[in-house]
Amino acid sequence: MSEHRIQTIWQRTSADFTYASYNRDHEWRFKSAVTVGASASPQYKGNPDLPDPEDAFVAALSSCHMLTFLAVAAKHGFVVDRYEDAAVGYLEKNAQSKLAITRAELSPRIVFAGERQPDAEMLRRMHDEAHHGCFIANSVSTQVSVKEQASG
């Protein structure tokens, strides 16, 4: 179907290389044009000002759901003016006692344009369609739930 390639680039900046001393900052390069600074989670000596892989994972789930939802809404004849999500991923021990993002909660706030507005049932159905059509959600075992927010 398609391939998705990124580069992850890290360079040592300390004289020594121990768990306590090596830098965690690195770069993600997408399509050779966009570079995003990244680091480890602060609890693992990372830079709190940069996204970590766990943040990126939750962002990918949120972004994929949004993009799929927009397609679903358009196919149902609704016009979306704004979509904003406050997603949260939970790093917890899974059934194998390994740390994992075991669940993610998406909390989208969606503003629809025009007189045609989805009712609560239609909104739920569109989110369900978006979830089942999201490539990222289909690729992971993380439980993803959508907590619909009032538009505004």
Largest alpha-carbon pair distance within the chain?
64
- Determine the pLDDT at residue 21: 94
Is pLDDT above 80 for 127? yes
Spatial distance between the Cα atoms of 115 and 68, rounded to a whole number of angstroms: 23
What domains are there in the chain, each with its CATH number?
6-44 (no CATH), 53-146 (3.30.300.20)
Mean pLDDT, all residues of the chain: 94
Q: What's the mean pLDDT in 21-27?
A: 97
Is pLDDT above 70 for 151? no
Is pLDDT above 90 for 123? yes
CA 143 from chain centre, in angstroms, equals: 13
Q: What's the mean pLDDT in 119-132?
A: 96
102-114 pLDDT, tens per residue? 999 999 999 999 9
Residue 129 CB contacts under 8 Å (≥ 6 apart), including other chains = 68, 72
- Determine the pLDDT at residue 71: 98
Give which of 30, 81, 40, 33 is closest to 60, Cα–Cα.
30
